[in-house]
Structure 1
Amino acid sequence: MTDLYKAYGDAAERMLHFVETRSTDQASGVFEVPVAHYLDEARWQKEMDLIFRRLPLMLALTIELPKVNDYKAMDVMGQPVLITRGKDGKARAFLNVCKHRAMHLAKEGKGNCSRFACQYHGWTYANDGQLIGIAEASTFGDVDRRTLAMTELPAEEVAGMIFVILTPGLPIDVRAFLGGMLDDLAALKLETWYYHKARTMEGANWKVSFDGYLEGYHFQAAHTQTVATRSPSNRASYEAFGPHIRLGFPQNGIGRLKDLPREEWGRQENDGYDFIRILFPNFSFFLAPEMCQYAQLFPGPTPDRNLTVMNYIYPTAPKDEEELRKLDEMSDFFFQVVLDEDYALGLKVQNGLESGATDRLTFGRNEPGNQYFHKWVEHYLSGCEGPPPVLRA
């Protein structure tokens, strides 16, 4: 933790400097992205195949499945996914499909059970994926039940988070994938929080929406009465860990750090500055003392749309109905800000892209996170040929 707090303190020092000098972290030059990268269906399919179906995606928190036999069933970009916690305590993931006639097994949502019975013909599976019951087996015929187990997906539980790869049989190493971001996430102790609820919103092309998470250049124009009252526009620090980013935003009152010993600056998150933790390709995590909002952004059924799941967790569970009501109000406020001020704007951007008004978008030197993100998209689409992108030359 000492090294982590030192890194936070160094970022805080940079953010204070940016506020005092009216500057920000910068890339070496401007960067152009063809508009076709947001519109082309063949490219979008390639992004699905080489990024979203091959990289570990954070699909659930440990606190969503805290007990043996807990499960979470969800649709992930058209893939029916079932995450379970077996009697051995291990989190596993499967395609939520019966091997008899391909019916879904568990209804979308969460619950607790040790087995899943198909509602079509009654075949039954244990939550470790094994086929344990065939209805009217004596009339069905001889089959090898071992070959009819649920299709398992690569899954790994790390730092209070459950990551899944949507393609069966691929190797998974989340610790290697997270790299230097792992210590950062582990320090948050997410396994001790209370999971409150999730809400979904529809947005533009997944990269249009994700671009908005990666910079604070838009705060003053787009969030005049909300975010801009907390954080100045166009002041940000960026630290990269492979394709992932720890993005720092100073608060308007960051000057208070000068009243503290320098070695304490790294312990002042949310009291002078904030971090947004970005995991490639689709996860954004904002932690505040009283709550946390994290976004899981998934490409939609067509290139012009995405579905974003906004999740809300809190340090402790509500003690009564009044506290529950307050958590709902806080969650809904943060949700509405993103929906009304970010995603509504993104849909207009999508329309602008489709209008033919320009054939490229230009990301400024003051938008290094966006540049870095698009370079990593290209890196994965190329099959990871050549050296990986770097944040700063």
Structure 2
Amino acid sequence: MATQPRSDVHDDPDAGWSLPAWTYSDPDFFQAEVDRVFRPSWQIVCHESDVPQVGDYHTLDYIGESVIVVRGEDRVVRAFTNVCRHRGARLVDGPSGCASRLTCPYHAWSYDLKGALTGLPLSQTYAGLDRAAHGLAPVQVEIWQSFIFVRLEDDGGPSVAEMMQPYAAEVEPYRFADMRAFGRVTLRPRDVNWKNVGDNYSDGLHIVVAHPGLTRLMGNGYTVEAMEHVDKMAAPIRDRLSNNPSERAYQAILPDVAHLPEDRKRLWTYFKLWPNFAFDIYPDQVDFMQWLPVSPTETLIREIAYAVPDDRREMKAARYLNWRINRQVNAEDTWLIKRVQDGMASKSFTVGPLSETEVALRNFCRKMRGLIPEARLHHAPAPGWSRRPRVQG
């Protein structure tokens, strides 16, 4: 089953076609994406439980920016660019930590947990300096279902809650607020454009071809639908046992999860949110996956799993088996997306036709063409086009 997004009913001569191959390696297009897609988009950082105490912080580095999310003395979670206002030095290193104040290691300028400049060595030598105007640069924060998101620029786009509103009732039973991380954040570099990672994630047609394990688990039950800002993929785990040991054991061991409705106790659901992150929701755990652009042909995949605490041996085994199954799926997808990236380098390929069932890919391409109209061109414009002033329609 596939559902067409309501916004796709408008006539569009390119509606049935993929984005052109040049957009997956072109430096100008990449810069346009940074400016028009990523700076105004929400990015997931961590869960509230990852910063439980005053001074706990997590960082996120992407598109040349570093953002620090920190819990203040008033228990409020705030975000700032991880940059000292004196000479631009990075304030903290590493993915996480705890600090009573943020002190620059270069000249010891210090900031409290609300971002205010509180420590200024040789303050008498900065004649007329307005300390209030030199606090840390704030970054917009949203907490949705206890997950913490940041946005560098507000272009009037929807909140995460608004994006996920069509599926709010489906997510509610999973008790996201009660979840805790198990394991660490995994970073996996890939030599592909970020869009190839996302395209593959939302592509339902390749499941039966390239993922035999998922097919053994789900049969032909995999469905794809697209809303304006979210794609949904889902399939129930079959009762018929797989002949693969890990898959068969998962099917047999997966215990009852009392807080889930009956129709979700053996359902795998995937939500991909615009533009580059997803929640993989299983009965036993929830993973987030984020594909961060590094260059036109490099991407960093960032992911971690969370779960409601459950000490049952069967649940611990199910979570381990889930990891084994999906490790194989990740290996298969890594091989696939590299083949696509390499194939797109051929001058023989420009755009590809999209089936009417490929609603998620159609939706993504439509949004990209709306933000970057040059994506309608089958061949790249002359270099430098992304730095020229945009013509307002």
| Smaller-chain TM-score bracket | 0.7 to 0.9
Does residue 315 in structure 1 map to residue 308 in structure 2? yes
Distance 1:270 1:326, change over 3 A: closer
Give distance in 2, aligned partners of 1:334 and 1:104.
39
Distance 1:234 1:77, change over 3 A: farther
CA apart distance, 1:142: 4.5
Question: What one-letter code is carried by the residue in structure 1 that aligns with 2:262?
Answer: R
Does residue 278 in structure 1 map to residue 269 in structure 2? no
Q: C-alpha offsets along residues 143-168 of structure 1, whole Å, 9 cap, x if unaligned?
A: 21111100001112122121211237
Identity %: 23
CA apart distance, 1:98: 0.5
Is the 8 Å Cα contact of residues 219 and 232 (structure 1) preserved in structure 2? no
Give distance in 2, aligned partners of 1:128 and 1:324.
40
Q: C-alpha offsets along residues 7-62 of structure 1, whole Å, 9 cap, x if unaligned?
A: xxxxxxxxxxxxxxxxx426698434321232332222212111110122222222
Is the 8 Å Cα contact of residues 61 and 162 (structure 1) preserved in structure 2? yes
Q: C-alpha offsets along residues 263-312 of structure 1, whole Å, 9 cap, x if unaligned?
A: xx9632242x4211111111111122222222011111x21121110111
For residue 264 of structure 2, what is the aligned residue in structure 1?
Answer: 269
Aligned equivalent of 1:215, options 193, 196, 203:
203
Aligned equivalent of 1:249, options 235, 243, 246:
235
Aligned equivalent of 1:288, options 267, 270, 282:
282
Distance 1:184 1:127, change over 3 A: farther
Q: 5+ residue gaps in structure 2?
A: 10-14, 241-259, 375-393
Question: What one-letter code is carried by the residue in structure 2 that aligns with 1:290?
Answer: D
CA apart distance, 1:247: 2.0
Aligned equivalent of 2:189, options 199, 202, 220:
202
For residue 115 of structure 1, what is the aligned residue in structure 2?
Answer: 101
**Count of matched residue positions in the alignment of Structure 1 and Structure 2:** 344
Aligned equivalent of 1:63, options 49, 57, 70:
49
For residue 74 of structure 1, what is the aligned residue in structure 2?
Answer: 60
Give distance in 1, aligned partners of 2:310 and 2:78.
26
Does residue 95 in structure 1 map to residue 90 in structure 2? no
TM-score w.r.t. the length of structure 2 is: 0.78
Give distance in 2, aligned partners of 1:182 and 1:151.
32
CA RMSD of aligned residues (A): 3.1
Is the 8 Å Cα contact of residues 215 and 236 (structure 1) preserved in structure 2? no
Q: 5+ residue gaps in structure 1?
A: 1-23, 255-264, 384-393
Give the SS at the match of 1:354: coil
Q: C-alpha offsets along residues 160-189 of structure 1, whole Å, 9 cap, x if unaligned?
A: 121211237978744334433444444432
Distance 1:193 1:307, change over 3 A: same
Does residue 85 in structure 1 map to residue 71 in structure 2? yes
Give distance in 1, aligned partners of 2:331 and 2:116.
45
Question: What one-letter code is carried by the residue in structure 1 that aligns with 2:337?
Answer: G
Give distance in 2, aligned partners of 1:49 and 1:189.
35
Distance 1:163 1:352, change over 3 A: same
Is the 8 Å Cα contact of residues 224 and 231 (structure 2) preserved in structure 1? no
Distance 1:334 1:75, change over 3 A: farther
